[in-house]
Chain A
Amino acid sequence: MNPICSKFIKPTVNTICRRIALTQTRNTYIFRHVYVPPVTPEGQHQRPPTELQNYRKYELVEEETEKPAGPLKVILLQDVEGIGHQFDIVEVDRDVARNDLLITKKAAYASPFDLKYYGDMKERMKEELAKRVRIPYEYLKIGRELQKLVVPLHVSMDNPWTLNRSIVTASLRQMGVDVLDNGVFLPKETISGPNFDYEAKLTRFYVVINKQYVVPMIGRISHISADESKQALYPDAAKQPSEEQLRKFGIKPETPYFHSSPEIDENFVVVDLMNSRKKQ
């Protein structure tokens, strides 16, 4: 088997390599004389520069590929996350531009014609663009990270507790998420204990970023105590719960919600809003 296969493979590999070497690469090199030929005095003819061998010696001063080429100016043709909105003129890293944006037609080079062309298109589509909801990229990033987490809500084994904002905020802080402005909202049906029926129960709560972006999050109740003899052991609790598990606790998968203006403060009833969205 083997000798026959190599007979077919080898020639194709060779032709491919030859093909690659045939594509042009152009670079600019700046040279200077090692031995500078003397200046021709006025009135006289120039002596041939190939007269002395030394005059044909050059040294490399600069090469085009030495300095890194800077960012590339492009016009975005769609809303690209992390870079900009449609018809924005942005400076992007060359690799990203060439390998990702330009190939997939998410952006076009900022040539004078294209600038005018897309500028006019932007004017025509002004109303449509204004209607679009634009969520800032930081909110989206943070929202995605938060949705991946299953927050263990630590509650006491001995003392009576009711799940409230401060417990959730403190548990979030233990996970490494700091909430600065009381942006945590819980459902009205409060859970209280200590009740070992609720152990490892999943609940839904909402975190609001900058009073505008509501992110649904999942918390898992875990009873703890400072007494080390009473620790409970868990199987891998960090993984995302499956849809079945969520259904068991009555939690439906939800998407984050972006409000038009930063109005969501403590008086806003976030839970009702999200419930009404669920039913849609």
Chain B
Amino acid sequence: MATLLRLLKYVRPSGMLVVATLTLMLLATLIDLLAPWVLRKVFDDGISKSDMGMVLMLALALFGLQLGKSLGSFAQGYTQELIGQNVVFTLRKQMYEHLQRLPFKYYDKAQTGQLMSRMTGDIEAVKNFVGFGGMMLVAGMATFVGTLIFMCSMQWQVTLLALSPIPLLLIVMWMFSRKVGPAWGKIREQMGRLTTTLQENISGIRVVKAFASESKEKSKFAGRNEQNFETNMHRAKLEANAFPLMGFLGGLTFLIMIWVGAVYVANDKMSLGTFMAFQWYTWGIIWPLNMLGWQINIFQQALKAAPRVFEVLDTKVDIESPADGGIDAATIRGSVKFQNVTFAFDKKSNEEQTKDLSKKEAAAASEQDRMEQENRAVIHDIQLDIKQGEVIAVLGATGSGKSSLIALLSRFYDVSEGSVLIDGIDVRDYELDGLRRSIGIVPQETFLFSASIRDNIAFGRPEATQEQIENAAKKAQIHAFIVNMPYGYDTLIGERGVGLSGGQRQRVALARAILMDPPILVLDEATASVDTATESAIHEGLLEVMKGRTTFIIAQRLSSIRRADRIIVLDSGKVVQQGTHRELNEQDGFFRRLLERQEMAAASSH
């Protein structure tokens, strides 16, 4: 019910259209009801009285009615679909905009296939009901009731008798509706799972092939496919049980009407014309009833699909600008401070915790949870004070929390405890878009979009001039490569364009960040896939870029961190060492071991 009410809210802006559609539908129904009445007149007043003038007039009247109906149903066909499209348009728009604002935390667990199937199949299912289906339901009901009124006014005894199978029909309908709802829910869920399996297989096809595990993948998909077959057959069985029975019961009304009607006419209790008209009117009874089964299906599908869409829309965007809009980030200069920062990925919210626990248990659980959280934290109580313009190298073993630490800066995640300050202001107090724009990131995993190289570099600043773009590309040591491509900066890359090697992609991503001209620059293993020679060239180019900017460099190779003013070494989410190269070289630790290994490698190379 709540789902239905919520769906209605989406229909409300199209209120005038709904009114228009319903009016047109009622008009069409009325005309449909009038036609048999005219026909009755043909028999009773025309033929019986041998009045051919009357017949001609009535025939013309029939045509006139149809003309009205045709015009009406043209308009109605348009308006009812427009309602559906309006709803779909809004739902899609909302979902897209919402998806773009959901935090990273959401995408850590989200399945692309499920999201896609919600965005397409589920929204489509909602549309089918809201537009065409819903309107037909209303029209069907109107036709049914209208027909009954007409028939009762002509001969109420026969009409009422004919209605006797209707209660039974309603019961069948109700039972079907109750069972088919869950069946549709299962089918939608199943489809999402199938899509997910598919998505993984196609995205990971290189790994599948490398392991020659195609046959395993085939049987995995066959499993999903089989489940899909079975859930659909279950639904088909429900339909087979209900639809023909409903058809039979509807037909029974017709039969009773004819049978009893015939006896009535034979006994002169009813005119032949009325009997004829009844025959036409049964259409008004049977059509809505036959349609019902199908409409229940559409309705139940929408009812199961809508919550899947709403679920996404209702996912809280818990990382957003403060309510008052936040502090303008345009003036950020770039000093950064981490104050007692602790961070865990799967922090359970308090509501979730207490939902199914009594108070006492909750208290105990929360204590336990706090400890658990402490253990699970990837960043522990970090204190850092970074001056504007400083170049900071972040070192540490795989999984020590380097990327997580940096992610807190841009508020990709919010800290669990403590606070991150930029220019002395908590990052949570800034306007979010501005904050992120003032931090240029070259992420570890390069994602480029299916677009031209130019558009990819100008991704964060679509209004950038060609000169600015080229400048950024030059600093990222990719300009020469780009101008050598067949279409230069207009060459399409990404899924549908030219394939770039890992190192080339990283450099495009670097140019993308440089173009943002951010006061804070983050290079998260930005040159891991680049050969050493290019790497030093990039770092030469970066020297100028880094001037005056606070820069974080995460890297595994010493060559990348040579220019750092300060080095921070992380271990299991804690800062274990920090200082200049020299200072760290004097301590026994990660940095010196790294240095020794590289020295060894270099020395033995000669």
| Chain A bound to chain B | no
